[in-house]
Structure 1
Amino acid sequence: MKKFTEKEKIFLNSIEEARIATSHDNIPHVKPVSFILVGNEIIVATDYNTRTFSNIKSNTKIGIVMDVYKSGNHKAVCIQGNCEIVETGEEFNKLYDIFYKKFSWVRKDPWKEKEAPFLKINPTNKTSWGIN
């Protein structure tokens, strides 16, 4: 597992959108997602009926990039890693509480265990740029 530097953690905690990449039958699938950093893992909420979720069920390898683009001042953290699905239990509730506090869209449309899972991404490779 690759560890984030303190500067990378500060950057990741300052933004809330990322693009996640999964694949099925060697066909890439990329979409924007909300995320949180918990310890050294990136956590993403998804729905059961999404291409992302079905891809993870058959292939736990994942890519995700969190960035802010400003011409001449692009900042990003790009990760490849393994993904676990969190659907219930104490860990689910802990992650849900963090999402609930951070995102108004969660407060507007709350969910419970087994209604929508979290994806827990453990980085195996990472690179970053523009983060000093």
Structure 2
Amino acid sequence: MVHFTPKELEFIKDNECCRLATSSDDKPHVVPVSYLFHADQFYIATDYNTKKFSNIKKNPNISLVIDVYKQNGNRGLTLQGVARIYEQGPIFADIYSRFYQKFEWVRNDPWKEYEAPIIEITVISKSSWGIN
């Protein structure tokens, strides 16, 4: 398991959008997504008919990039990890509740089990820049 520095944890918690990279048949696919960070795991909600969901079902290896580009200093974190899909059950319910509390877009368009899966990402490696 990867351990984050206090500054990296602060950076993760101060942001809510990242880019998720998946791959299928050696073709990369990158999309911006909202994330939730809880208990050293990243969580992303998606729909069943997305390319990212289809790719993760075929290949659970993913990458995330959280970054901020400003004139006075760029900062970012690149993560590689393994994805797991939750469609129902206690973990789904707990993480969905956290999404509901954090994001207005979830409260405006709520869903139930088997309507939109939640992707859990376990980080296996990381690199960062400008975070110190």
Fold match, TM over 0.5?
A: yes
1:52-107 deviations in Å (ceiling 9; x for gaps): 00000000000010111112411111101111011111111110111111111001
Greater shift in the superposed pair: 67-76 or 30-39 = 67-76
What's 2:103 paired with? 103
What's 2:126 paired with? 126
Greater shift in the superposed pair: 5-14 or 108-117 = 5-14
> Within 5 A, what are the aligned runs for 1:24-103?
24-103=24-103
The one-letter code of the counterpart of 1:127 is S
The aligned length equals 132
CA RMSD of aligned residues (A): 0.9
Please list every run of at least 4 consecutive aligned residues from structure 1 whose deviation after the TM superposition is greater than 3 angstroms: none
Return the offset for 1:7.
Answer: 1.4
What's 2:22 paired with? 22
TM superposition score normalised by structure 2: 0.96
The one-letter code of the counterpart of 2:18 is A
TM superposition score normalised by structure 1: 0.96
SS, match of residue 35 in structure 2 = strand
